[in-house]
């Protein structure tokens, strides 16, 4: 599904992502871990089109992504959430999800201005679909609240469901559990399983190791922009290099 | 629900009766006509500024393109006036799109400078036109709107014409902002980065917002030209752009009613303060400061807050 081949990204003299290769296959939940500053979020930005790699290739669903812009990559079927919550704060919760549906809707500008029957029906349909998505993560009762007024944990869930609304094949989650309390984390676990059942492949960055080890099928470890290790959670956990990187041994 | 419908019907009746109630006060009807023109102009500015979050400090330029475009097309191509108004607005939309294409890359403060420059360029072109085609500072005379022989040449008639225009333009705006396109505008205002990530072509939508906005304001400019029947460059200086922004911010952005309230409030204030005309810019400045510091949502924001409070109590 996603093949990253020898990808390097430099900011001036700093090499943020250094010759990283990895392969993601359909249907599994993948983890991306590493100490702070290892380049995890930068790696996400790279595959989702925020940055263009200096070297290497990114191929998603048979399409070369290098140089494609974020919105184009979203249309190909990759959607994401953000480490810092990036909701449309002064829009309602359901409107946020409807923005997520944007690439799925067909009606154009003039259909909207003229208020054609087809456009109105599509809007009705979109609203219904958005509310269904809110049910999916249990935010239905907040549908008409301003998204900026939600609790932190709920904002994280809204980010996830907003990204899901475009029916992506691959979902990138950047620290979905950050700021969540333990109850919310259990909910998140269930939701991630439900997403997997929809046939969506997940690649997630997360610092909560208990969650990561419990839910992922396969983990990549980044350190100083390089891929340090990869394997099943058990393999990674017992990898001496990974342990050294986390504990700061030499 | 029932109550709001009754309220709307009452409002419609009042609006239709205004010229009859004011029949002995022609000047009042005249002002109401101007209010209609400004509602259309500012509703357009609101689309790009209030909804899409892109500032324009040069919207007087589109007002000018609409006014001169329609007047010139009528005089030199001899097209019927309503058609020239629409054509001039379309020309303005195209120019708006061409301006937005490079400007869509600029961040807020650079965009504001670019639009100031654009406003100044159009002003200079109008004031010192090639071959004096606009009449430069002597001004340019044009005719009233002629709807298949029915001349809209009195304040009374223009009032109804303006009312119809306001209804059409507000309806289009309402539909647009409640659609997929409108949500894209808002998403760009709220967080352009995330909008991009959600599959929205941010640059295209900024261009669409700008072009639509130009269409509105230019149409209002054309209304102005055929209402007053005389246009001259002073009407289209940066003072006009500042007045647009003052009206919009004072009334409240990103709503249907905000621009309406803003146009009414600022125009009435202008009339009330006729004796202090030389201090007009000072007054706008003070109004802008008051709005920005004390009531960021404008008049509409204040009213909405009160209504929301009451709803919560209920």
Average pLDDT value for residue range A149-164 = 96
Average pLDDT value for chain A: 95
Which residues does chain B have within 8 Å of residue A114's beta carbon, measured at their own beta carbons? 175
Q: How far is CA B107 from CA A218, B3, B243, in A?
A: 41, 44, 23
Q: Which domains does chain A have, with CATH numbers?
A: 2-247 (3.40.50.300)
Report helix, strand or coil for A224.
coil
Q: Is A91 in Cβ contact with B183 (below 8 Å)?
A: yes
Q: Residue for token digits 């922004």? A: B245
The pLDDT tens digits for A108-122 are 999 999 999 999 999
CB atoms within 10 A of CB B243: 22
Cβ contact (<8 Å) for B172 and A113?
yes
For range A192-213, the mean pLDDT: 96
Q: Terminus-to-terminus CA distance in chain B, angstroms?
A: 15
Of A102, A113, A126, nearest to B184 by CB-CB distance is A102
User: What are A120-152's pLDDT values in tens digits?
Assistant: 999 999 999 999 999 999 999 999 999 999 999
Residue B314's pLDDT is 63
- Shortest distance, CA A33 to any CA of chain B (angstroms): 22
DSSP B218-249: HHHHHHHHHHHSEE-GGGGSHHHHHHHHHHHH
pLDDT at A189 over 80: yes
Query: What is the model's pLDDT at position B148?
Result: 86
User: Above pLDDT 90, what percent of chain A?
Assistant: 95
pLDDT at residue B1 in the model: 58
The CATH number of the domain holding residue B231 is: 1.10.3470
How does strand A226-231 pair with strand A218-223? antiparallel
Which residues of chain B are within 8 Å of residue A119 when distances are taken between CB atoms?
179
Q: What is the pTM of this model?
A: 0.94
Work out the percent of chain A whose per-residue pLDDT is above 70. 99
Interface of B with A in 159-218 (CB under 8 A): 172, 175-176, 178-184, 186-187, 190-191, 193-202, 208
The CA distance from A164 to B65, in Å, is 44
pLDDT tier at A246, thresholds 50, 70, 90: confident
CA angle at residue B172 from A88 to B32, to 5 degrees? 110
The tokens describing A168, both together, are: 């992506």
> B95: domain range?
2-313
Classify B54 as helix, strand or coil: coil
3-state secondary structure of B133: coil
Tell me what pLDDT residue A250 has. Answer: 52
- Which of B 110-169 lie inside 8 A of A, CB atoms? none
Residue A202, φ and ψ in degrees, nearest 5: -120, 135
Q: What is the pLDDT of residue A124?
A: 97
For chain B, which ranges sit under pLDDT 70? 1, 313-314
At residue B75, the pLDDT reads 96
The residue assigned the tokens 């002003």 is B123
Residue A249's pLDDT band (boundaries 50, 70, 90)?
A: low
Name the average pLDDT for chain B: 93
User: Measured between alpha carbons, how far is A73 from A103 in angstroms, rounded to an integer?
Assistant: 11
> A99 in contact with B at a CB cutoff of 8 Å?
yes
Chain A residue numbers touching B196 (CB-CB < 8 A)? 69-71
Contact A123 B179 (CB under 8 A): yes
Instruction: Give the count of domains, chain B.
Output: 1
Best mutation target, A49, A94, A113, to test chain B (most B CBs within 10 A):
A113
Using CB atoms, pick whichever of B175, B183, B208 lies closest to residue A95. Answer: B183
- Sign (positive or negative) of CA dihedral B52, B57, B60, B66: negative
Tens digits of residue pLDDT in A24-74: 999 999 999 999 889 999 999 999 999 999 999 999 999 999 999 999 999
- In whole angstroms, give the CA distance from residue A212 to residue B131: 74
Contact A71 B176 (CB under 8 A): no
Q: Would you call A105 an interface residue with chain B, using a CB distance cutoff of 8 Å?
A: yes
- Residue contact B198–A74, C-beta within 8 A: yes
| Whole-angstrom distance, CA of residue B141 vs CA of residue A153 | 64
Helix H segments across chain B? Answer: 2-21, 26-46, 60-72, 81-103, 108-127, 155-177, 180-197, 202-228, 238-251, 257-272, 280-294, 298-313
């Amino acid at each position: 599904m996603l093949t990253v081949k020898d990808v390097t990204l430099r900011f001036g003299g700093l090499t943020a992502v250094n010759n990283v290769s990895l392969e993601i296959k359909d249907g599994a939940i993948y983890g991306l871990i590493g100490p702070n500053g290892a380049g995890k979020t930068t790696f996400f930005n790279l595959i989702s089109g925020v940055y263009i790699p200096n070297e290497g290739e990114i191929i998603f669903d048979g399409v070369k992504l290098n140089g494609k812009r974020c919105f184009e990559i979203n249309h190909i079927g990759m959607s994401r959430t953000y480490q810092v919550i990036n909701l449309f704060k002064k829009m309602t919760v359901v409107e946020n999800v409807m923005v997520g549906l944007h690439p799925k809707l067909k009606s154009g500008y003039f259909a909207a201005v003229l208020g054609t029957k087809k456009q109105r029906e599509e809007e009705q349909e979109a609203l219904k679909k958005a509310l269904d998505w809110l049910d999916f993560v249990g935010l239905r009762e907040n549908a008409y609240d301003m998204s900026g007024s939600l609790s932190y944990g709920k904002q994280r869930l809204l980010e996830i469901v907003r990204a899901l609304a475009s029916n992506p094949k691959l979902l990138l989650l950047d620290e979905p559990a950050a700021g969540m309390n333990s109850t919310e984390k259990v909910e998140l676990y269930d939701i991630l399983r439900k997403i997997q059942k929809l046939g969506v492949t997940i690649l997630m960055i997360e610092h909560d190791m208990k969650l990561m080890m419990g839910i992922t099928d396969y983990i990549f470890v980044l350190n100083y922009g390089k891929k340090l290790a990869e394997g099943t959670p058990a393999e990674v956990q017992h990898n001496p290099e990974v342990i050294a990187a986390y504990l700061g041994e030499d | 629900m029932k109550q709001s419908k009754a309220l709307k019907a009452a409002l419609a009746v009042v609006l239709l009766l205004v010229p009859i109630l004011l029949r002995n006060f022609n000047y009042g009807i005249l002002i109401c006509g101007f209010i209609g023109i400004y509602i259309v102009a500012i509703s357009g500015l609101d689309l790009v500024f209030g909804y899409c979050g892109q500032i324009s400090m040069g919207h007087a330029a589109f007002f000018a393109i609409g006014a001169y475009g329609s007047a010139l097309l009528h005089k030199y191509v001899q097209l019927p006036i309503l058609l020239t108004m629409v054509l001039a607005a379309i020309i303005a939309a195209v120019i708006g799109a061409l301006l937005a294409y490079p400007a869509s890359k600029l961040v807020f403060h650079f965009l504001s400078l670019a639009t100031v420059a654009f406003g100044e360029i159009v002003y200079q072109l109008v004031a010192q036109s090639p071959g004096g085609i606009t009449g430069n500072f002597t001004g340019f005379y044009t005719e009233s709107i002629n709807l298949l022989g029915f001349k809209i040449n009195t304040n009374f008639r223009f009032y109804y014409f303006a009312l119809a225009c306001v209804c059409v333009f507000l309806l289009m705006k309402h539909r647009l902002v409640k659609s997929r396109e409108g949500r894209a505008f808002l998403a760009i205002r709220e967080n352009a980065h995330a909008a991009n990530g959600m599959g929205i072509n941010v640059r295209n939508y900024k261009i669409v917002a700008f072009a639509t906005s130009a269409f509105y304001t230019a149409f209002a400019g054309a209304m102005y030209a055929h209402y007053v029947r005389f246009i001259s460059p002073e009407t289209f200086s940066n003072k006009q752009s500042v007045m647009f922004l003052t009206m919009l911010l004072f009334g409240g952005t990103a709503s249907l009613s905000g621009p309406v309230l803003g146009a009414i409030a600022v125009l009435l204030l202008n009339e009330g303060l006729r004796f202090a005309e030389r201090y007009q810019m000072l007054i706008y400045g003070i109004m802008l400061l008051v709005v920005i510091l004390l009531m960021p949502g404008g008049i509409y924001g204040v009213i909405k807050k009160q209504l929301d409070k009451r709803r919560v109590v209920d």
